[in-house]
Amino acid sequence: MAALRDALLAGEVDLAVHSYKDLPTAAEPGLTIAAVPVREDPRDALVARDGLTLGELPPGSTVGTGAPRRVAQLRALGLGLDVVPIRGNVDTRLARVGGNGKQGDLDAVVLARAGLSRLGRLATITENLDPIQVLPAPAQGALAIECRTGDARSRELAGRLEDATARACVAAERTVLAALEAGCSAPVAAYAELAEGEHGPELFLRASVTAIDGSDAVRGSVSGSLPDAAALGRALAEELLDRGAAELMAVSR
């Protein structure tokens, strides 16, 4: 990500495409997000041995994931799973899942569904995890197309890919993260979606902060108009902080 931004600022490239969830919440001087395209499915996905779902994995099963957010939320489900941190690219992680005649040291891994989709690995998924169980990371499944702020031509071209709903949802989610002063590796989850409100379409935003051992969590939700996306994120973050989110994040570090 840093190398791409350096290339943009140096004029070596005119556009950079990022996984939005990996970008810092602070703006980069001289650069702008020219477009947020239609978002992929933001849910997390389980890839388990023998086609098992999360509820079918026996207690003691070893589940690997690289995100503290997922580790915390999986432990909080109370299923008796042994959730362990793992590293490596998607194929490396998938190769660690045993079963069906394969040798592997894990019973399952949890990954972003969007990443599996973009790599053509959807067939490996044994369950798409409901956000009620495991809430996604802020901006998961979204792309950010970035260019130099003063490059009007690139901004105009990239802007044709803009999806207003995706941008509003991501703005709400990332504002929660920024207001909590948490990084992308913190056990913070946020997910906004378009819902039908009393006076028409509105954003429904959920967020949570979970202790890394799964012993405690604070959760909340708020709804409002799309133009108020950032304000909704700030309001929900303030509510979570009032209920002890900062203490949970401190314990998780």
- Tens of pLDDT, residue by residue over 133-170, are 999 999 999 999 999 999 999 999 999 999 999 999 99
Task: Specify which residues 148 forms β-bridges with.
Answer: 31
What is residue 100's predicted lDDT score, i.e. its pLDDT? 65
Report whether 63 contacts 74 (CB < 8 A): yes
- Please say if the pLDDT value at position 215 is more than 70: yes
| Mean pLDDT to the nearest integer, 170-188 | 87
More confident residue, 103 or 56: 56
C-alpha distances in angstroms, 74 versus 32, 182, 245?
Answer: 35, 20, 18
Distance CA 108, CA 21 (A): 23
Q: How many CB atoms lie within 10 A of CB 213?
A: 13
End-to-end CA distance of the chain: 24
DSSP structure string for 200-224? EEEEEEEEEEE-TTSS-EEEEEEEE
Distance CA 204, CA 222 (A): 6
Task: Please state, rounded to an integer, the average pLDDT across all residues of the chain.
Answer: 93
Clarify whether 22 is annotated catalytic. yes
CA-based radius of gyration for the chain: 19
Of 40-44, 149-153, 200-204, 238-242, the one with minimum mean pLDDT is 200-204
CA 205 to chain centre: 14
Q: Which domains does the chain have, with CATH numbers?
A: 2-40+140-252 (3.30.160.40), 44-128 (3.40.190.10)
Q: Which of 22, 50, 213, 242 is catalytic?
A: 22
- Tens of pLDDT, residue by residue over 48-67, are 999 999 999 999 999 999 89
